[in-house]
Structures are given as C-alpha cells and as structure tokens.
C-alpha cells in the first residue's frame, strides 16, 4: 500500500513547492473501573493526512479511506485548499533546512501491553477498586489503564522516509470521600512511552491504600489559609506548573499569533530572547524529546526533524522557544523538532515535548527541614491561566503545613496564585536528581480543530518564597 | 454522505453475528473543513473525512465496547469480536438491564443544502470579508471558520434505527489592537445566515472600545456578563453537576438538593436537544429520544439528565442524554442548555448599574475547585469595562474571578430579553441571555 502513497508523492512533487504524507495505524486499549463497574474499550484507528505547500501557502486534507482513487482525491483536495489559502496570504511560507532522514525506529519497551491478558488488567483495577472502597468514607473509587501502539509512516517530497513505532502505557486511580457536604479527592496517575512494566512500576494497589487514607483524613483537615507563604510543590503539581506557565508560552507559533483566535498568545515575545529574567538562578528548563520513557518522546517530529534537547531557560534567563521549520526560517535558525499532530486527520502544530525543570541539589527531606514555615502542596485539582500565560491559579488535592522543618498537619482545598515570571523568580531551591521524575500528561490541548497530545515533564520538588496561597472569599 | 439506507444495511448485517445477547452500533461519519486565520492571513486550512463505528456488546449484563474508523464488513466484525471479548472480561453491571427498545424520535431539520457552497474558496472569501474590514481599521484579526457535515446513526439488535444528518457552521473572530481585543461568534446549521462583515464589525467595535485599559483592584463588584461569558459558565455547570453520574456520586451541586431553592427565582435552566439554535440531535447515543429536561426552575433544583444505566439505578426512564458508550462512566450530560430570558434589554440593564464590571467573555474557566459549591475560577478576556452610573466609562485590564456559581446565580439582579446561541465546535452549546449579578468576587489581576 505504501507504493500508492509514494506514487501520489511523485505526482505532488511536480505540482507543489513541498508535500508530506503521514500514514497512521493506531491501536488503543482503555479499561476503566468505577465502583466495580467495568468499561473496557478497544479502538483501531487508521488514516492518512496529506500536507502541501503551494503558492507559498498550506493546504491539508485527510481521509480514512485507502483506495487509490481516494488517496489521489485527497491529494488534489489538499492542493485546492492550499490554492485557496494563497488568496489570503501576505507572506509566503518558507521552511528552514533539515537533514532529510531515511530511518526506521521502534521505541524500546520490555513488556508489550497488548500481549498482557485483558483479564489481568481488569483484575488489577478491580483489586485497586476493592482496596479503595474498604473505608466507609469512600463513595467513589475509580481506576483506569490506557495503552496505545502507534505505527507512523512519514514521507516527503524532499525524500524523507521515516517509520516509527511508539508504545504508550499509562493509568491511574482516584478515590473520592464524602462526609456531610464536604467532598474530597485523592488521585495518582502517570503515563510514559514504555511497555506494561511501567504499569507494574506504579504499584497501584499499594498506592490505593495511601490514597484511601489521605482522602479520608482530608475530610477532617483544616482549610488551607489565605496568606503569603513559602510554598513547596511536589512533583506532580510542579509538572502542571511547568506545563501551563512555561510549556505553552514557549510555543513559537503562539508567540507569533497563530493561536490568538482561540487559546491566546504569549508574554514571552521575541524581544525577550537571551535577556529576559524568567526565573531565579535555580531555574533551568529544557525541552527534551529524547528522554527515555518520556511521554513527549519520539525519534522524529511530524516534519521529519530529529528529536532534540533544547535549553529554554538557563539559570533563570530565557533562551529560546519550541519551534518548527516554518517559524525558524525568518529567524535564521533550524527547527528544534516540535511539530506534532494528534492524529492522521490533524495538521502538525508546535507542541510541547518533555519540558523539564532540571534538578538542583536538595534532598526533599533537607528542603522541608530547611523550611521554617510554609506549605507543601501536591496533585493538581484545578488549573486556570490567562491568555498570555501570566496570571495563574492552581488548586491541589492535598497540602501539609510545615513548621520548624517538619510536616505538622494536613490541609484541605489548597490553592495558590501568581504571575509567571515573579513566581519562577521566587524559586530558591530545587530537589536533586534522586527526586527527579518524568510525569506524563496525556491530554495537552491546542489548536482548532482541537488537538490533544501526550507530553511529559521531568521535575523534582521545588520551593518558592512569598507566594499567595488561598483565595479571599 | 453514506446515507440512512446504507447504514441500516451495515447494522443489520452486524446483528446477524453470533456471540452477544444484544449488540449496538453507533456510526458517526462526515467531513469537517476548517480555515484558520491570524495576523490577517490564512495560516491553516484543513479538511477531514472520517467515519467512526462504536460497537457495544452485551452478554447478560456484562458490557464491552470496541471502536473502529471503518464500516466495511471485516472491520465491523473485528470490532464486534473485540467488544464481545471485552464484555467477557467485564464484571456484571447490576445497574444495566437492557439496551433501549425502539421509540419514535422527533424529526428536526438540521441539514441544510447550503452546505454545498462551502468550498475552500468560499471559506477563504468569507474570511477575507472579516480580514478586509479589520485591516481597514488598522487592526489584526484571528479566528476560525469551520464547516461540518455529519450523519449519526444509532442501531441496536432490539430494533432501534435512529438516523440524523446535520450541518453546522461556526465563525469566531478575535480582533486585536496594541492594547486591546474584541470577540464575536456565529454558529448555526445554515451558512446562508452567516454574515462575516457584521461579525467583523462586532469584534472591531469591542476591540476599539477596549483600548487604553486601566487597572482596577480586585474585590467584589456588580458584574454584567454578556452571553459569551455566561455560556462558558454553563459548559462547566453541565460538566460538573447536571448529569446523573455526578449527581448520584454526591459531588454535584444538585446532589441532595432537588426541590430546594439554590438560585434566584429569575434563573430557569433547561436542556433541549431538539432546538435547532444548537446542534440539534433528536436522540442520544443509545438512540433514546432527547426529552426537554427542566434543571433549574425559578431558582429551584428540579432534576438532572439520565441515560439507561443511571436511570435504572433510580428506577426512572432515560431522558435521552447518553454519551457514546466508551464514555459511559462519565455518564449522561446536557449538551443543549437554555436559560430563560428576562424582560429588559441589555442596554437598559447596563443603564441601571451604578458601579460594576462588564465582561465580554471568560478564558480558561475551571470548575473543579469545589464542585459541591460550584466554585469556579477564570480570567476575563477580549473586552472588560468599568460601568459607572449606568455607562461604560473605562476599559479595564483583565481580572481573575473565584466565585461560587450557586452564590452568583442567587445574586442575579436582572436577565436580558436578548439571547444568543454560543458554543464550542459541536458540543457544550447553550442559548443564554446576558445577566447582571451583584457582588461577584474578583480575586486577582493580570498585566494586560
């Protein structure tokens, strides 16, 4: 069948400035269990997308029908669309150079999740469900597993021929308690580009016990106060903090205005590169699509650019963006390989890969011990940020008050808020590599039609001074 | 378009397969074309042709689901076999009794032949009308024009054969200056009703009015929420509390409060999937006819929406609000909310406000802070203004609110008689008025 697409590519080579074709074959297994109710879902999804640049403008057409005539029709639709785009295009699209790749890549995994018996996966979730519902305060227990195998073929008129096979595994558990009018929740989830061994390493039944107890204790915990405080963020919450306040504002297409009609723009304008103080000297942020097991890892992006590691913030100074071939041409740079599409039916956009806070030198126990008075928060509950990514407010599931270097009591309904560069400038400590972990965020949203894509964030817990916690009501 | 006849034929063939007590297949097929523009030019222009078949297999009261994006025999057989295998592994679901039996659905006209005009050239020309107007005023336009042509068929082995074709057009525009922005939106099933120039003018006027914004301290203010802003709140109210799952799990703001007054008497909210102002769909993803459901009546909590599983748990009938079966644990949701209008015009309401804040729309609302209180947070966007003595006196820099929607909707002073259909691509649409709410809690500010 690949010959069919190569034939179309030969045709397009004669007609357009540039074209590429992505053919995807995805298999997904998702199992959810809620209070003993099991919802198992298999999914098979195949299709292709043809992107052409003609008269300096983009056109994209996609289809799930693979017969020769339909493939040819789809290519012609893409050309017609590009022609229409050109009628309202002031600057012709140009792309920076790349090393054209001919390659085949299979992401390493130890245990193929699709070979693990379905019954075993259901049984694991039912075990977690049983453990969480052992406490009378627990009203809703939920667990889920998700596995995806993506086979992607990429070919371009420049001669690229790339095959990739990427396996994703992930899952989580959630435990809701209720007493009177108070409802509390504790959850734990993670995802990675790994096999079933990733699920086994999560030890979900053991985590179920912890969440059950914490969710019950939250019902009798005092409310998080409303004050300016020293704030420690655990890894899973820091992953969300980086995602929203660093990951999205460094997308160069957003900076150039192409998301202005929907998700917004960015405060990190072009004039800030190389001189803007984004954070304190403890803050070094990288984007790294080469990290083993990271949910935002791959071998090549959806323009055929090899996966890379890029420094975004170096010791607090803003250094650069996530980029594409189109956005780097006018800057005299090369793409750092961040163009990703959520499916065959979507055009690639600049997306987060694994955007990470590099580790510092502190052991977590030492950091807590060094904190005279503060609050440690973890696990995202609510998230909101303005359309230039400055003012944020995040809520967490759980917090602990710190007094004289010790966690003294649990707090419920914690919330903190700030302005992005002020917040990161208040960072005075980051924990060491021993505490550094890549958290998988499976549903990052962007674009129209909306595209949700898996990304990763490597982080270790960190400390911030003078942060507003709680909300005046 | 595949057509009703062909889809019925495919479904009937599937039901001849052995191995399940009951089978259901939901087919959603169609095309989506979308032209995106920014910085006064088209930067993204796409079309997609897809078909999605979702097969649900029932073995006594065990359920399995499989999806495949094809409808030829081999693919559907694969899906049916996977669904049956999955059902064998599932635990018995005590709340599941049976797939629905056939019922007569209303016929709603929501497929318009005008869709044939929606070529790439037509889309580009429509966008050009917006851009030309905006550029002529020295401003910048961004947005998207999307065109959907969809057919949905729900079939089961008990004889349900529901089919509905539809069209849907949506144009959004954000118009920006150096220090301000404005917004407008159209959506509807008939592209002949799209007026790009009118939409451009609406967003331009708002953008110009929002120039030179000043900062205001957060605090409690009276607020005038335009329809765009209210619709975004409604999407979250639907998600966190108006479906039977969250209601039965006790975390909804409606849980344990049916019959109680939870909002001001000027607030009446219902769901009606047969109203063509929203993407009408006369049946749900189980093929059950969508009923009009009163959710809040003159401030009193009346009820939530149900599918077959959640209704069986309470000994009720489904209201026809099931989501696709792969999302059954999310539960039923109202996707076509309406709020009753009042008697005053928007301009009359504004003229009565002594001091307040006028919000065009919100950005990034989140309603998960305390779902029982419907405690939400979010930012203002694309036009925020100070109202003094009944007049808009200054543009404001954007603000963050953190407020219980139960409290806010208990503080409604006036509701406009004008209403607007507002929404995202194909779901979360609502038909709402503008409202004046007193003592709305703004808790933070940003730099623009």
Q: What is the pLDDT of residues A111-158, one digit of tens each?
A: 999 999 999 999 999 999 999 999 999 999 999 999 999 999 999 999
CB contact under 8 A, B90 and A388: no
Residues A71 and A131 in one domain: yes
- Is residue A362 pLDDT above 80, yes or no? yes
Average pLDDT over residues A74-92: 97
pLDDT (tens digit, 9 = 90+) per residue, A39-60? 999 999 999 999 999 999 999 9
Residue B16 CB burial class (10 angstroms; 0-12, 13-18, ≥19): exposed
Q: What is the pLDDT of residue A433?
A: 98
For residue A414, the SS3 value is coil
In angstroms, the CA A174 to CA A67 distance is 44
Chain A CB contacts of B39 below 8 Å:
256-258, 260
Residue A253: give the domain boundaries: 227-469
Identify the domain boundary among A161, A185, A218. Answer: A218
| Contact: B95, A37; criterion CB under 8 Å | yes
State how far residue A346 is from chain B, nearest Cα, in angstroms.
8
Does residue A429 sit in helix, strand or coil? strand
| pLDDT for A313 | 98
On whether both A202 and A322 belong to a single domain, the answer is no
Q: Considering only CA atoms, which of A466, A37, A221 is closest in space to residue B325?
A: A37
Tokens 């920076």, residue located:
A96
Percent over 90 (pLDDT), chain A: 98
Find the helix or strand (DSSP H, E) in which A451 lies.
strand A451-459
A244 & A133 share domain: no
Q: For residue A436, give the 3-state DSSP assignment.
A: coil
User: Contact B93/A176, CB-based, under 8 Å?
Assistant: no
Interface of B with A in 206-265 (CB under 8 A): 218, 249-251
Residue B427 pLDDT level (bands cut at 50, 70, 90):
low
pLDDT tens track for B229-288: 999 999 999 999 999 999 999 999 999 999 999 999 999 999 999 999 999 999 999 999
Please give the average per-residue pLDDT across B329-343, as a whole number: 96
Q: Mark whether A17 and A92 lie in a shared domain.
A: yes
Same domain flag for A30 and A66: yes
In chain B the first and final C-alpha atoms are separated, in Å, by 47
Q: Examine the fold and report which residue of A184, A218, A252 is the final residue of a domain before the chain moves on.
A: A218
Cβ–Cβ below 8 Å for B366 and A384: yes
Structure tokens at A264: 């917004």
User: What is the rounded CA–CA span in Å between residue A45 and residue A155?
Assistant: 20
pLDDT recorded at residue A330: 86
- Tally of domains in chain A: 2
| Shared domain check, A197 and A243 | no
What is the percent of chain B where pLDDT is above 70? Answer: 99
Task: Mark which of A167, A191, A218 sits at the end of a domain.
Answer: A218
Burial of B347 (0-12, 13-18, 19+ CB in 10 A): exposed
CA B379 to chain centre: 19
A272 to chain B, any CB pair closer than 8 A? The answer is no
Q: Tokens at residue A8, please?
A: 């179309």
DSSP A3-40: HHHHHHHHHHHHHSSEEEEEEEEEEEEEEEEETTEEEE
Give the count of beta carbons closer than 10 Å to the beta carbon of residue B300: 17
Question: How would you class B370 by CB atoms within 10 Å of its CB: exposed for 0-12, middle for 13-18, buried for 19 or more?
Answer: buried
CA nearest A443: which of A152, A148, A38, A151?
A: A148
HEC readout, chain B: CCCHHHHHHHHHHHHCCCCCCEEEEEEEEEEEEEEEEECCEEEEEEEEEEEEEEEEEEECCEEEEEEECCCCHHHHHHHHHHHHHHHHHCCCCCCCCCCCCCCCCCCCCCCCHHHHHCCHHHHHHHHHHHHHHHHHCCCEEEEEEEEEEEEEEEEECCCCEEEEEEEEEEEEEEEECCCCEEEEEEEECCHHHCCHHHHHHHHHHHHHHCCCCECCCCEEEEEEECHHHHHHHHHHHHHHHCEHHHHHCCCCCCCCCCCCECCCCCCCEEECCCCCCCCCCCECCCCCECCCEEEEECCEECCCECCHHHHHHCCCCCCCCCCCHHHCCCCCCCCEEEECCCCECHHHHHHHCCEEEEEEEEEEEEEEEEHHHCEEEEEEEEEEEEEECCEEEEEECCEEEEEEHHHHHHCEEEEEEEEEEECCCCCCEEEEEEEEEEEEEEEEECCC
pLDDT in tens, A433-472: 999 999 999 999 999 999 999 999 999 999 999 999 999 8
Mutual angle of helices B120-136 and A68-86, in 10-degree steps: 20
Three-state SS at A419: strand
Find which of A37, A73, A346, A349 to mutate to test the B interface (most B CBs within 10 Å of its CB): A37
Q: Do A329 and A438 share a domain, yes or no?
A: yes
Decide: helix, strand or coil at residue A74: helix
Instruction: Kindly state the DSSP code that residue A260 receives in the 8-state scheme.
Output: T
pLDDT of residue B425: 64
Q: What is the dihedral of CA B255, B256, B258, B261, to 10 degrees?
A: -100
Phi, psi of B221 (to 5 degrees): -135, 155
Q: Give the percent of chain A with pLDDT over 70.
A: 100
Chain-chain contact of A417 with B66 (C-beta, under 8 angstroms): no
- Angle at which helices B4-15 and B73-89 cross, to 10°: 50
Helix (H) or strand (E) holding A54: strand A37-54
Residue B306, pLDDT > 70, answer yes
Contact A412, A184 (CB under 8 A): yes
pLDDT, residue B327, reads 93
Contact (Cβ atoms closer than 8 angstroms) between residue A363 and residue A242: no
Binding-face residues of B in 104-163 toward A, CB within 8 A: 119-121, 123-125, 127-128, 131, 140, 142-144, 146
- Asked if A39's CB is within 8 angstroms of B95's CB, the reply is no
Average pLDDT of chain B? Answer: 97
Tell me the pLDDT tens digit for each residue of B357-397.
999 999 999 999 999 999 999 999 999 999 999 999 999 99
DSSP helix/strand/coil, A413: coil
Q: Kindly state the tokens that stand for A69.
A: 């005539």
Six-digit token string for A26 = 């995805």
Residue A346 makes CB contacts below 8 A (sequence gap 6+) with A49, A62, A447, A449, A451, B46, B48
What are the backbone dihedrals phi and psi of residue A427, each rounded to the nearest 5 degrees, phi first?
-75, 120
- Residue A90 CB: number of other CB atoms within 10 A? 11
DSSP letter (8 states) at residue A377: E
Per-residue pLDDT at B400 exceeds 70: yes
pLDDT at B426: 59
Residue A305: the pLDDT is: 98
Question: Longest Cα pair distance anywhere in chain B, in angstroms?
Answer: 73
Tell me: pLDDT of B148 over 90. yes
pLDDT in tens, B114-147: 999 999 999 999 999 999 999 999 999 999 999 9
Work out the pLDDT band at B428, boundaries 50, 70, 90.
Answer: confident
Do A49 and A188 sit in the same domain of this protein? yes
Do A450 and A421 sit in the same domain of this protein? Answer: yes
Look up the CATH number of the domain holding residue A153.
3.30.2290.10
Statement: residue A361 has pLDDT above 90 = yes
CB contact under 8 A, B448 and A45: no
* DSSP letter (8 states) at residue A99: -
Q: Which pLDDT score is estimated for A473?
A: 77
> What pLDDT is recorded for position A374?
98
Q: Tell me the residues of chain A between 152 and 181 that have a Cβ less than 8 Å away from chain B.
A: 176, 178, 181
* Distance, CA of B67 to CA of B52 (rounded, Å): 7
CA distance B119 to B117: 6
Query: How high is the pLDDT of residue A391?
Result: 98
**Residue of B194, B255, B254, B202 lying closest to B228 (CA atoms):** B202
Looking up tokens 């607030």 gives B267
Interface of A with B in 277-296 (CB under 8 A): none
pLDDT band, residue A1 (cuts 50/70/90): confident
Q: What is the ipTM of this complex?
A: 0.96
Q: Distances from the Cα of A98 to the Cαs of A55, A324, B176, in angstroms?
A: 21, 11, 35
Question: A358 and A375 in one domain?
Answer: yes
| Model pLDDT, residue B190 | 96
Average of per-residue pLDDT across B18-45 = 97
User: How does pLDDT run across B174-205, given as a tens digit for each residue?
Assistant: 999 999 999 999 999 999 999 999 999 999 99
- At B74-91, the pLDDT tens digits run 999 999 999 999 999 999
CA–CA separation, B366 vs A384, rounded Å? Answer: 6
- Co-location of A304 and A445 in the same domain: yes
Taking a C-beta distance cutoff of 8 angstroms, is the pair B43, B36 a contact? yes
Q: How many CB pairs under 8 A join A and B?
A: 267
Q: How far is Cα A266 from Cα A249, in angstroms, rounded to an integer?
A: 5
Same domain, A160 and A249: no
**Mean pLDDT of the B159-167 span:** 97
Which two three-digit tokens encode residue A275? 């001189």
- H/E element holding A340? strand A339-340
């Amino acid at each position: 069948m690949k010959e069919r697409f190569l034939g179309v590519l030969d045709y397009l080579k004669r007609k357009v400035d540039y074209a590429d074709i992505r053919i995807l074959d995805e298999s997904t297994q998702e199992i959810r269990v809620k209070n003993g109710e099991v919802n198992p879902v298999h999914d098979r999804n195949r299709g292709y997308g043809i992107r052409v640049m003609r008269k300096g403008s983009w056109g994209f057409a996609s289809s799930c029908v693979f017969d020769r005539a339909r493939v040819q029709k789809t290519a012609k639709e893409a050309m017609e669309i590009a022609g229409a785009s050109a009628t309202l295009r002031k600057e012709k699209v140009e792309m920076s150079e790349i090393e054209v790749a001919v390659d085949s890549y299979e992401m390493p995994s130890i245990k193929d999740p699709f070979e693990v018996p379905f019954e075993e996966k259901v049984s694991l979730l039912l075990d977690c469900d049983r453990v969480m519902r052992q406490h009378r305060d627990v009203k809703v227990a939920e667990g889920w597993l998700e596995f995806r195998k993506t086979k992607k073929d990429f070919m371009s008129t420049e001669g690229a021929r790339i095959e990739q096979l990427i396996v994703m595994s992930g899952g989580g558990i959630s435990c809701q308690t209720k007493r009177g009018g108070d409802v509390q929740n504790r959850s734990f989830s993670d995802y990675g580009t790994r096999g079933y061994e990733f699920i086994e390493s999560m030890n979900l039944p053991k985590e179920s016990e912890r969440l059950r107890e914490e969710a019950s204790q939250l019902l009798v915990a005092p409310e998080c106060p409303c004050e300016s405080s020293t704030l420690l963020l655990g890894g899973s919450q820091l992953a969300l903090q980086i995602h929203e306040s660093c990951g999205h504002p460094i997308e160069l297409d957003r900076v150039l205005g192409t998301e202005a009609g929907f998700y917004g723009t960015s405060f990190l304008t072009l004039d800030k590169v190389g001189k803007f103080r984004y954070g304190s000297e403890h803050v070094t942020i990288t984007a790294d699509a080469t990290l083993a097991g990271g949910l935002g890892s791959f071998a090549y992006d959806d323009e055929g650019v090899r996966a890379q590691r890029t420094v975004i913030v170096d010791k607090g100074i803003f250094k650069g963006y996530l980029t594409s071939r189109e956005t780097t041409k006018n800057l005299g740079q090369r793409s750092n390989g961040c163009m990703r599409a959520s499916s065959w039916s979507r055009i690639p956009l600049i997306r987060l890969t694994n955007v990470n806070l590099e580790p510092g030198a502190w052991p977590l126990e030492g950091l807590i011990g060094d904190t005279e008075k503060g609050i440690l928060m973890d696990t995202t509950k609510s998230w909101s940020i303005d359309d230039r990514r400055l003012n944020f407010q995040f809520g967490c599931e759980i917090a602990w008050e710190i007094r004289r270097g010790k966690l003294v009591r649990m707090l419920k309904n914690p919330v903190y808020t700030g302005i992005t560069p002020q917040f990161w400038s208040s960072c005075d400590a980051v924990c060491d590599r021993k505490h550094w972990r890549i958290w998988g965020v499976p549903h990052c949203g962007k674009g129209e039609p909306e595209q949700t894509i898996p990304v990763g964030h490597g982080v270790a817990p960190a400390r911030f001074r003078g942060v507003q916690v709680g909300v005046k009501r | 378009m595949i057509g009703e006849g062909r889809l019925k034929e495919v479904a009937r063939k599937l039901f001849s397969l052995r191995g399940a007590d009951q089978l259901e297949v939901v087919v959603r097929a169609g095309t989506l074309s979308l032209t995106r523009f920014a910085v006064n030019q088209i930067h993204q222009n796409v079309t997609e042709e897809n078909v999605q078949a979702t097969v649900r297999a029932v073995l006594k009261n065990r359920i399995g689901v499989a999806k495949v994006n094809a409808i030829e025999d081999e693919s559907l057989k694969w899906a049916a076999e996977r669904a049956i295998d999955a059902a064998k592994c599932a635990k018995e679901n005590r709340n599941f009794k049976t797939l629905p039996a056939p019922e007569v659905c209303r016929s709603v006209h929501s497929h318009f032949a005008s869709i044939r005009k929606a070529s790439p050239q037509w889309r580009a020309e429509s966008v050009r009308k917006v851009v030309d107007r905006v550029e002529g005023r020295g401003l910048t336009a961004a947005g998207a024009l999307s065109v959907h042509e969809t057919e949905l068929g729900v079939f089961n082995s008990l004889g349900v054969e529901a089919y509905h074709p539809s069209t849907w057009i949506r144009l959004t525009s954000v118009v920006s200056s150096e220090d301000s922005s404005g917004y407008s939106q159209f959506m509807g099933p008939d592209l002949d009703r799209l007026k790009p120039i009118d939409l451009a003018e609406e967003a331009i006027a708002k953008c110009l009015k929002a120039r030179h914004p000043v900062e205001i301290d957060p605090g409690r203010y009276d607020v005038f929420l335009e329809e765009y802003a209210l619709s975004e709140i409604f999407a979250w109210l639907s998600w966190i509390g108006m479906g039977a799952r969250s209601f039965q799990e006790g975390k909804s703001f409606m849980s344990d409060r049916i019959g109680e007054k939870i909002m001001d008497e000027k607030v009446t909210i219902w769901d009606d999937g047969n109203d063509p102002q929203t993407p009408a769909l006369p049946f749900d993803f189980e093929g059950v006819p969508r009923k009009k459901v009163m959710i809040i009546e003159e401030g009193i909590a009346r009820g939530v929406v149900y599918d077959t599983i959640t209704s069986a748990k309470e000994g009720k009938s489904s209201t026809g609000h099931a989501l696709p079966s792969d999302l059954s644990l999310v539960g039923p949701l109202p996707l076509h909310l309406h709020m009753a209008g009042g008697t005053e015009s928007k301009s009359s309401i504004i003229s009565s406000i002594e001091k307040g804040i006028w919000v065009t729309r919100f950005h990034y609302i989140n309603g998960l802070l305390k779902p029982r209180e419907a405690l939400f947070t979010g930012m203002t966007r694309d036009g925020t203004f100070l109202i003094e003595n009944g007049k808009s006196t200054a543009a404001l820099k954007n603000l963050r609110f953190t407020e219980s929607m139960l409290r806010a909707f208990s503080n409604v002073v006036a509701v406009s008689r004008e209403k607007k259909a507002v929404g995202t691509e194909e779901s979360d649409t609502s038909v709402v008025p503008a409202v004046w709410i007193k003592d709305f809690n703004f808790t933070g500010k940003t730099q623009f």
